[in-house]
Amino acid sequence: MTLVGAGGYDAPVAETTPKLDTVRTVETPEGVELTLRVAGPVARSLAWALDQLIRAVAYFIVGFALAFLGDLGMGLFFVFLFLAEWFYPVLFEVLRHGSTPGKIVLGLTVVHDDGTPVTWTPSIVRNLLRFADFLPAAYLIGLIAMLASRDFKRLGDLVAGTVVVYRDVPMGPAQLVEAAPIPVPVGLDQAEGRAIIDYAERAPGWSEDRVYELAEILAPLAGGPPREGARTLLGMAHWLMGKR
């Protein structure tokens, strides 16, 4: 990721840049702060489509096997159809850390609003209300609700107090963006130094606007406008990491 130079980085940046990502910080009941990345309609729709495909294959296999039992098989198939349609997502969400197979592929998980793992009652509520989100067709109400919600919540999520987020991916050793080392100001304390290093370590995973936004927040340390501040912070991070 190139943070300075040609392209969009040379464009003027407004003094107050709106957040363009979907990062949310919540505090758990134990007082621990968690950073959640809320999933939008596109990722959730793809996960839903994968789950629908998996269920369709299961319906075909089970229906074919039960067809040999005549009316009894037909009755058993409808029981299986009901249970799979309504409890497939619930069982996976509660027993598989908030993720159905479709959500696993897309890297998504369902959690409570405070970031804790989803439990039985909220999962049942959010999935039973899928019928309301589906109205009048093709999940139109659910899509409208998600677009109107800061956290992309459909009706089921609003009632159940849940949110769909991206799962945390274990990070390898941090790689700082290349930048010329810049000596840090005299009197920089340990917390400020840690903030600068954290900024540089996480910058490769952010959008350009997010990089500038946080550089503006750290302006007392970086000085100058956000673009120059980003370059300064990266240089300071390399200095603090021992590069000269």
Q: Is the pLDDT of residue 19 over 80?
A: no
When divided into structural domains, the chain yields a total of 2
d(CA 32, CA 26): 8
My answer on whether 116 and 86 are in the same domain is: yes
Element at 26 (helix H, strand E): strand 23-27
Q: pLDDT tens digits for 163-203?
A: 999 997 655 555 567 788 888 887 788 888 888 888 888 88
My answer on whether 51 and 141 are in the same domain is: yes
My answer on whether 12 and 104 are in the same domain is: no
My answer on whether 91 and 197 are in the same domain is: no
Domain assignment of residue 131, yes or no: yes
My answer on whether 83 and 122 are in the same domain is: yes
**CB crowding 92-107: b at 16 or more within 10 Å, else e:** bbbeeebbbbbbbebb
My answer on whether 60 and 131 are in the same domain is: yes
Averaged pLDDT, 37-60:
95
The band of 28, judged by pLDDT with boundaries at 50, 70 and 90, is: low
d(CA 94, CA 119): 6
Domain assignment of residue 29, yes or no: no
Q: Give the residue, 208 or 125, on which the prediction is more confident.
A: 125
d(CA 82, CA 78): 6
**Containing domain of residue 225, as a range?**
7-21+176-240
My answer on whether 51 and 142 are in the same domain is: yes
My answer on whether 155 and 53 are in the same domain is: yes
Q: Is the pLDDT of residue 105 over 50?
A: yes
Tell me, what's the pLDDT at 212?
A: 85
Whose structure tokens read 């109400």?
Answer: 141
Of the given ranges (84-88, 91-95, 140-144, 222-226), which has the lowest mean pLDDT? Answer: 222-226
d(CA 27, CA 43): 25
My answer on whether 121 and 198 are in the same domain is: no
d(CA 228, CA 221): 12
Kindly calculate the radius of gyration of the chain based on its CA atoms and give it in whole angstroms: 24
My answer on whether 77 and 144 are in the same domain is: yes
My answer on whether 79 and 118 are in the same domain is: yes
Averaged pLDDT, 4-32:
52
d(CA 199, CA 176): 9
Domain assignment of residue 58, yes or no: yes
